Structure 1
Amino acid sequence: MRDEDARYEAVRSRDARFDGEFFFAVLTTGIYCRPSCPAVTPKRRNVRFFATAAAAQGSGFRACRRCRPDAVPGSADWNVRADVVGRAMRLIGDGVVDREGVAGLAARLGYSARQVQRQLTAELGAGPVALARAQRAHTARVLVQTTDLPITEIAFASGFASVRQFNDTIREVYAATPSELRATAPNGGRGGRRATAPSAEIPLRLAFRGPYQSGAVFDLLADEAVPGVEEVSGQPGRRTYRRTLRLPHGTGIVAVDERTGTVKSASGSHPGGWLDARLHLTDPRDLTTAVGRLRRLLDLDSDPYAVDERLGADERLAPLVAARPGLRSPGAADAEEVAVRAVTGKAGAQRLVARYGKTLDAPSGSLTHLFPEPAVLAGAEPHGVLGALTAALADGALRLDPGADREDAQAALAALPGMDPATAAVIRARALGDPDVAPPGLDVPDSWRPWRSYALQHLRAAGELD
């Protein structure tokens, strides 16, 4: 939706389908919002549109306290696009700019820092520093309003270089000091569960747009769960998925609850809304990365309206889409782990965890291990396709990070001795989050593009594919 008149109509109708796809700002108030904001619709002449929250902030607008535009799902464009802008946005979402700076981002993309700055600014109205800053502000707000971490700790956990930079950004983005922001939390500023211990719990809501077939996602997670690393508990409709994560600064244990039914919003009842999650992190600086990995695993930034419209027009798929609107194509919480598991299968993955997985310092129930790193596996089991895969991952010949070039990764996979095309297709769909993958040998019409990964999920759910 790039036409501004069409965008204004979406704002007038408070259409939640476009939350996160664009933002609008009001010149008379100096505030920017998501399209579904329940406030009185401003006059067209007073409205400006932005592709990102960072661009709105860069133009001097503050985030609306009513609709919280920073908490919307990410744009589905970043799932689909394989160009440098799409890859850059996925890397920024994973926290690369905070950890490695713009130079590190550019190096991962294979471009100069100036080229990356120019392309992002030209298309999104904000460069990598501004985009990362907007993300840090959102992370900070979550920590301020859901934990009792001291403000100073939150500043550095959110990725800010100094407390002063943190304070200035919060005042600029939210028109409030961190203490005032904490006082506006739903529980009256008492924070969340006490968060002074390293493994304290951070509660979150993981937003998504449109219908979401959580049952199908949790069925898959339960079927694939590797003991020691993952578990799914509870009855269908009320299940909880838990797993361990290796993160840049430490480790984590994350939990996500299945959600069914509808959510009431200012614009009425609509399917979906959010999944409740809890994160236990040994280092709060990993919050942004952990959330991003959960979102990719659960495919929360998809645009189900676009997917269902295209696939629902196909005679074969139409009844399947009607039966399961909003069916997702799950990705990976750890791309390298998913690649290894695609090669070994579930039983093989269990064996690897038992032999080579690192034991958690503080196990949580049945969660006791981290999945072994590629370098460990490459040294321990160097032979066969598993050895070739883990060696390529360990030395960087194969990259599966959020900013990896999908075609380069495909070529690297194909070059591995013993790698069969079907397994490579699974890795591309799951580890790289490619929405348009069809397994070799299956007659798939071009009319299913660019959502062939989703079409296959529908066929599997209907029992037409293994």
Structure 2
Amino acid sequence: MTMVEDSRYEAVRSRDARFDGVFFFAVATTGIYCRPSCPAITPKRRNVSFYRTAAAAQGAGYRACRRCRPDAVPGSAEWNVRADVVGRAMRLIGDGVVDREGVAGLAGRLGYSARQVQRQLTAEVGAGPIALARAQRGHTARVLLQTTDLQAAEIAFAAGFASVRQFNDTIRAIYAATPTELREARRAPSGVPTRFGPVTTEHGTAGVPLRLAHRLPCATGALFDGLAAHALPGIEELTGAPGARIYRRTLRLPGGPGIAEVGERSGAAGWLECRLHLTDLRDLTTATQRLRRLFDLDADPGAVAERLGADPALAPLVTARPGLRVPGSADPDETALRILLGRGLTPAGARRRGTALVAALGQPLGRPSGGLTHLFPTAATLAGAPLAGLGLTGERRAGLRTLATALADGTVALDPGADRAATTRLLLALPGVGAWTAGHIRTRALGDPDVPLTDDREVRAGMRRAGAHPGGTERWRPWSSYAAYYLRTAP
């Protein structure tokens, strides 16, 4: 433990931003906690303690640094790698399950008792589910205070607090400031995203601006290229020229439809500019986390490069495109159904099939926004639809209906806390779902960073071009999904 903490202190001394979100450090003499890259004077080692999460630091009585804003950091890639109950719980808490369903709902999804979940999280990350959710609510509240003109009471409930008093007490405990003081300390207008045009949705809102932090490097151009190649009209669109594109898509959220806009231009600065138009502001945390998964913003590019760069066949690909991200999912059910729909087709062919499906069965928005007109059909809708007249073969219609039925009735669950191995077995047991489909669903819908996709024709072709040995995939772990994406998308 001493060696680990000494290494962490060296990261603090060098202000290494690669470790932002991986751990936090607190200073006994000031009573604050910071991210490793905090620009303040480095404290003496004897005054520093380390925590796995912001919630653990808050639980120990420390307040957030106002200079480095340690709550606004990328999440730790560890939680995406881990398949155990702690990793699954952290992903579910990030998605807002505790706020919506309580600790009992979290435990039920994990298949453990609430006491077991509390014990394991406290032992591993230094905080239980309530404390972790409270820290997340505090961050959401700060974003709303500093980016909107909503009343404090509206922000309290939008962030997930049960009362205004709880909101006030939490803000004081985390930031050592009142909500009014936090709002008065908001950054100048130049610090707020301004590149998005004024878009009025069916909710009549201008949207909530925020920044989606990520670790550098980030191959933003390649990420937007991948999204553009598979964008489904009516559901997604990209506007602007390469280098300054804006990706827009509809979101099906617990409180109603939403629209997300994410800009490409600021990627080199360590964040992506975003604006969310929501029916219910209480969906802010959920929408933010879904976009983070879609853009793979909690990735650890340093760890990926270190592992994959050690493979002589992959090293040139990693060097040529540092910080490559694997596109994930903003809606796991939608992603899974689109993967099956597009199996064996070119992106253009998959887009034609998807466009026909959305036009026939998608849920129209109350008011179109630019090229966004629909939400993707729900699994329940597809399970009960005849799917005729869409240009689909009988085999593809049957497979699509089978998968949709399994998603609709809960036989297969693709939420962030799903057991990936068990879910893959369930998928493979469905008629019409083979290894290729299950592997891509596991990679994108479940966000698994360790799927080699060796059943994919493009991956195998990439391996041949790069001279990668088919039996050498073990050396890619735990970042096999990144290796597969480098190989599939290599020029």
TM-score of the aligned structures, taking structure 2 as reference length: 0.90
Deviations 1:329-365 (A, max 9, x none): 1110000000000011222221211111111112101
In 1, the alpha carbon distance for the partners of 2:77 and 2:41 equals 27
**Percent of residue pairs identical:** 68
- Contact preservation (8 Å) 1:147, 1:191: no
After TM superposition, the structure 1 = structure 2 runs for residues 262-411 of structure 1, keeping only pairs within 5 Å, are: 262-263=268-269, 273-345=270-342, 346=350, 347-381=352-386, 384-411=398-425
Cα distance, 1:202 vs structure 2: 0.4
Cα distance, 1:262 vs structure 2: 4.0
Cα distance, 1:200 vs structure 2: 3.3
Kindly tell me: are residues 189 and 224 of structure 1, through their superposed partners in 2, closer, same or farther at Cα, counting changes over 3 Å?
closer
- Contact preservation (8 Å) 1:145, 1:189: no
20-29 vs 232-241, greater mean Cα deviation: 232-241
Which amino acid counterpart does residue 457 of structure 1 have in structure 2? Y
Kindly tell me: are residues 459 and 190 of structure 1, through their superposed partners in 2, closer, same or farther at Cα, counting changes over 3 Å?
closer
In 2, the alpha carbon distance for the partners of 1:440 and 1:397 equals 27
Cα distance, 1:191 vs structure 2: 9.6
Matched, 1:182 2:183: yes
Find the counterpart in structure 1 of residue 441 from structure 2. Answer: 427
Which amino acid counterpart does residue 104 of structure 2 have in structure 1? A
In 2, the alpha carbon distance for the partners of 1:41 and 1:219 equals 40
SS of the equivalent of 1:14 reads coil
Deviations 1:399-427 (A, max 9, x none): 11100000111011001011121111111
Find the counterpart in structure 2 of residue 216 from structure 1. Answer: 222
Q: Kindly report the root-mean-square deviation, in angstroms, between the aligned alpha carbons of the 2 structures.
A: 2.0
Which amino acid counterpart does residue 221 of structure 2 have in structure 1? G
Find the counterpart in structure 1 of residue 245 from structure 2. Answer: 239
Q: Which runs of 5+ in 2 are unaligned?
A: 343-349, 388-396, 461-469
Deviations 1:48-76 (A, max 9, x none): 10000000000110000000000000000
In 2, the alpha carbon distance for the partners of 1:386 and 1:392 equals 10
Deviations 1:180-217 (A, max 9, x none): 10000013899999999653310011000120001111
After TM superposition, the structure 1 = structure 2 runs for residues 108-127 of structure 1, keeping only pairs within 5 Å, are: 108-127=109-128
Deviation beyond 6 Å, 4+ runs, structure 1: 188-197
Find the counterpart in structure 1 of residue 463 from structure 2. Answer: none
Which amino acid counterpart does residue 365 of structure 2 have in structure 1? L
In 2, the alpha carbon distance for the partners of 1:290 and 1:3 equals 35
Find the counterpart in structure 1 of residue 393 from structure 2. Answer: none
Which amino acid counterpart does residue 157 of structure 1 have in structure 2? A
In 2, the alpha carbon distance for the partners of 1:190 and 1:144 equals 14
- Contact preservation (8 Å) 1:213, 1:327: yes
In 1, the alpha carbon distance for the partners of 2:438 and 2:190 equals 49
SS of the equivalent of 1:36 reads coil
Kindly tell me: are residues 47 and 408 of structure 1, through their superposed partners in 2, closer, same or farther at Cα, counting changes over 3 Å?
same
Deviations 1:368-408 (A, max 9, x none): 10001000110004851101100000000001110000011
In 2, the alpha carbon distance for the partners of 1:336 and 1:418 equals 16
- Contact preservation (8 Å) 1:148, 1:190: no
In 2, the alpha carbon distance for the partners of 1:250 and 1:445 equals 42
- Contact preservation (8 Å) 2:220, 2:267: no
In 1, the alpha carbon distance for the partners of 2:309 and 2:268 equals 22
In 1, the alpha carbon distance for the partners of 2:110 and 2:214 equals 28
284-293 vs 231-240, greater mean Cα deviation: 231-240
In 1, the alpha carbon distance for the partners of 2:434 and 2:190 equals 55
In 2, the alpha carbon distance for the partners of 1:455 and 1:109 equals 29
Find the counterpart in structure 2 of residue 267 from structure 1. Answer: none
Find the counterpart in structure 2 of residue 460 from structure 1. Answer: 488
In 2, the alpha carbon distance for the partners of 1:220 and 1:191 equals 27
In 1, the alpha carbon distance for the partners of 2:416 and 2:264 equals 25
